Structure 1
Amino acid sequence: MKYMATYDLMETARTTSQWLGATAQAIGSYPAVSMVPNPFFRMVAAWGEVTERTFARMIAKPDWNINTVVAGDGRDHIVSVEKVVQRPFGDLIQFQVHGRPPKPRRVLLVAPMSGHYATLLRSTVASLLPDCEVFVTDWHNARDIPVSAGKFDVEDYTLYLVDFMRFLGPDTHVIAVCQPAPLTLAATAYLAAEDPDAQPRSLTLIGGPIDPDAAKTDVTDFGRRVTMGQLEQIAIQRVGFKYAGVGRLVYPGLLQLASFMSMNGDRHSRAFSEQVLRVTKGEASDHDKHNRFYDEYLAVMDMTAEFYLSTVERVFKRREIARNVFKVAGRQVDIASITDVAVKTVEGANDDISAPGQCIAALDLLTGLPDSKKASHLEPGAGHYGIFAGKSWRNNIRPLVLDFIDANSGAPQPGRVHLRTV
């Protein structure tokens, strides 16, 4: 009950802050105060508007907001998001473009489970949709999953990816972004040994910690300094009474958000103050640059405790992927089993989360794969976000990834649909 009370205390603080913001906005917007020439009340209303929006977004799952895409015929085609595989801890979703012939490029985009929703890849999806059939792993918020659904750790995550790849079939090209890169590599190796006919045609790993020790960052240093016992004590709580996952042990999204914000506290405070001034002057809008960024940045989700702790222990501390000793369901996963799947790594030269060297380490593990099926790219001047969603992705990396997909497609048949049941 100690940790459940802590979880509820955090939620109480968030709700209170949201209420204070809404109250300030209401008071400052009251018609009678508009007769007062002093701008104080306008600033109160602006502060309330920004504060209420800030704390409300922390528990709201963002929408994809990808409504249409322009096809080769020059027309806008409606886009709908459909669940094609449903699981307790995450679904496989497809962005269905209606009225457009199926594209030969079929892409599985593996989204991170690192505190934010899969919508963090919204711009990545939008950039791929005109040229590809896009599928995405849509992970669920652990606070909304009943305890009766059981556990979910790195092995379960890997097996989810195995099931998704089997469902989509061998004409699929997998792109893993950041955190899931090591486990996606392991899932591909698992299929190579257990079900080679279900392997994807290519695998692109973007900014992932395949070998965290290859280049140190603040993230890897933290993993080394803190023991697993300390981490469990400071990071793990039980979901409170408000949510369906009541009692489940989680790493709360609000706790992770607090650590994110503290790393760049001055910058976030300045951005908040500047937005209050813009609202006061009537220069802000619902979808301006500030709101677009923070609506996504502040929307956080809880991770199951076993997934968070096993990721730190097995991927970062014990480096099981990097040492090629990772096991799934008691079976040894040998990265060298991958002999047919083309693999490309992408890194950002200025990535301070997964530094250059961590991702390209995957190529050294692929001892059974010919060099002709290996590729790598280091993007100059790019940070972590830029290599999958920023200018570097749009202008340089995306075209390279599509060329890599085409070079390893094995002449797919246009319009072919290859779905399996699981």
Structure 2
Amino acid sequence: MKYMATYDMMETMRNTNQWLGATAKSMAAFPVFATIPNPALQWLGAWGEVTERSFERMVAKPDWGLDSFTCEDGRDHLIKVETVVERPFGDLIHFDVQGRETMKRRILLVAPMSGHYATLLRSTVKSLISDAEVYVTDWHNARDIPVSEGKFDIEDYTLYLVDFMRELGPDTHVIAVCQPAPLTLAATAYLAEQDPSAQPKSLTLIGGPIDPSASPTDVTDFGHSVTMGHLEETAIQRVGFKYKGVGRKVYPGLLQLTSFMSMNAERHMTAFNDQIMRASKGESSDHDQHNRFYDEYLAVMDMPAEFYLSTVERIFKEGEIAKNEFVVAGQKVDIGKITTVAVKTVEGANDDISAPGQCVAALNLCTGLPDSKKANHLEPGAGHYGIFAGKSWRNNIRPLVLEFIDANSAAPAKAKPAAKKTTGKKAAAK
């Protein structure tokens, strides 16, 4: 019960702060106070506005916000988010541009399950929709999944990816961002041995911890310094009575958010103080830069305890992927079995979460893949976020990834759906 009580206590604190913010905002807005102009009241109202919004976002799932897209015909086409595969812990969704001819490029974007929703990749999805049919792994918040659905660890995650790849078929190009990179590599190797006809055409790994020990960071140091018993005792809680997943063991989103914020506490404090001052002067807006960023950043989700603990133990501590010793459902996965799927790695020179060297290690593990199907890119001056959603992604990395995809496609990227596939394949761009 103590773990459940702790979870409910954290939710109570969040709820209380949201209420305090709403109360301050309402009180400062009383018409009678307009007769006595006072900067302190304006500041109180601004504090309430920012505080209420911030704590409210912590339990809200952000919307994709992708309503329409202007195609080459000059018309706006509505975007419909369709669920292709529905599963208890995550769905495979498709961004269907209504009325547009089906694009030849088919991209599966594997989103992280690391505390934020898949909507963290909104800008990445938006940048790819113009050139491809985009599919995304939309992971669910563990607090909303009943205990009756069972466990979900990194082996289950890998098998989900296997099922999603099978569903989309062999003419798919997979892009894995950050945390899922090692498990996506394992899922591809699993298919190479168990169901070769379902393998994707290419695999792009962006800023993922394939070999965390190759270039240590604060994240990898934490994984090695803490014991599993201590981690389970301090980080794992049971979902409280408010949600459908009551009783499920999770790594709570609010606890994760505390860790995220503490890494750059001074910067976040400055950002919120500045926003309060802008709000007090009437210079803030609903969708200004601060709100756009923090509406997404503060929206966190609970992770299944089994997934979090097995990730720390098997990926970071034991390095099972790095040592090519990963096992899924009793079957050893040999990454060397990948012989036809082109593999590209992307790293940021200034990435302080998955430092350069961690992701490119995947190429050395692909011992059965010819060099002509291996590629890597190190983006100068780019941090972790920039390599999949920032300026570096938009201006440089995205064009390179699309070029890599086209070089390993069975048909031209812009061919009509009725066009027959060609048999020739180009070498991967290096």
TM-score range, shorter chain: over 0.9
Aligned to 2:339: 339
SS at 1:137 equivalent: strand
Comparing 10-19 with 63-72, which one deviates more in the overlay? 63-72
How many Å separate the matches in 1 of 2:72 and 2:198? 30
Matches within 5 A, 1:374-413: 374-411=374-411
Aligned to 1:269: 269
Aligned to 2:424: none
Give per-residue Cα distances to partners, 1:128-179, cap 9 Å, x unaligned: 0001000000000000000000000000000000000000000000000000
How many Å separate the matches in 2 of 1:260 and 1:95? 30
Aligned to 1:220: 220
Q: Does 1:92 align with 2:92?
A: yes
Aligned to 1:158: 158
How many Å separate the matches in 1 of 2:357 and 2:69? 36
Matches within 5 A, 1:101-116: 101-116=101-116
Aligned to 1:59: 59
Percent identity at matched positions? 75
Contact 2:118 2:138 in 1 (8 A): yes
How far is the alpha carbon of 1:42 from its aligned partner?
A: 1.3
How many Å separate the matches in 2 of 1:154 and 1:277? 44
Q: What is the alpha-carbon root mean square deviation over aligned residues? A: 1.1
Aligned to 2:83: 83
Q: What letter is aligned with 2:10?
A: M
Contact 2:182 2:321 in 1 (8 A): yes
Aligned to 1:420: none
How far is the alpha carbon of 1:416 from its aligned partner?
A: 6.3
Comparing 266-275 with 120-129, which one deviates more in the overlay? 266-275
Aligned to 1:27: 27
Q: Does 1:284 align with 2:301?
A: no
TM-score (norm 2): 0.96
Contact 2:224 2:317 in 1 (8 A): yes
SS at 1:48 equivalent: helix
How far is the alpha carbon of 1:41 from its aligned partner?
A: 1.2
How many Å separate the matches in 2 of 1:330 and 1:392? 40
Contact 1:102 1:416 in 2 (8 A): no
Aligned to 1:47: 47
How many Å separate the matches in 1 of 2:264 and 2:346? 26
Q: 5+ residue gaps in structure 1?
A: 418-422
Q: What letter is aligned with 1:144?
A: D
Q: What letter is aligned with 2:336?
A: A
Q: 5+ residue gaps in structure 2?
A: 420-430
How many Å separate the matches in 2 of 1:238 and 1:175? 33
Give per-residue Cα distances to partners, 1:247-292, cap 9 Å, x unaligned: 0000001001001111111111111111011011111000000000
Give per-residue Cα distances to partners, 1:306-331, cap 9 Å, x unaligned: 00000000000000000000000000
Aligned to 1:11: 11
Q: What letter is aligned with 2:32?
A: A
Contact 2:177 2:207 in 1 (8 A): yes
Matches within 5 A, 1:332-371: 332-371=332-371
How many Å separate the matches in 1 of 2:188 and 2:312? 21
Aligned residues: 418
How many Å separate the matches in 2 of 1:69 and 1:377? 30
Aligned to 2:428: none
How far is the alpha carbon of 1:80 from its aligned partner?
A: 1.1
Q: Does 1:188 align with 2:178?
A: no
TM-score (norm 1): 0.98
Matches within 5 A, 1:411-422: 411=411, 414-415=416-417
Q: What letter is aligned with 1:314?
A: R
How many Å separate the matches in 1 of 2:39 and 2:231? 47
How far is the alpha carbon of 1:216 from its aligned partner?
A: 0.4
How many Å separate the matches in 1 of 2:416 and 2:176? 24
How far is the alpha carbon of 1:414 from its aligned partner?
A: 3.3
Contact 2:237 2:251 in 1 (8 A): yes
SS at 2:58 equivalent: helix
Contact 2:104 2:411 in 1 (8 A): no
Give per-residue Cα distances to partners, 1:38-67, cap 9 Å, x unaligned: 221111111000000000000000000011
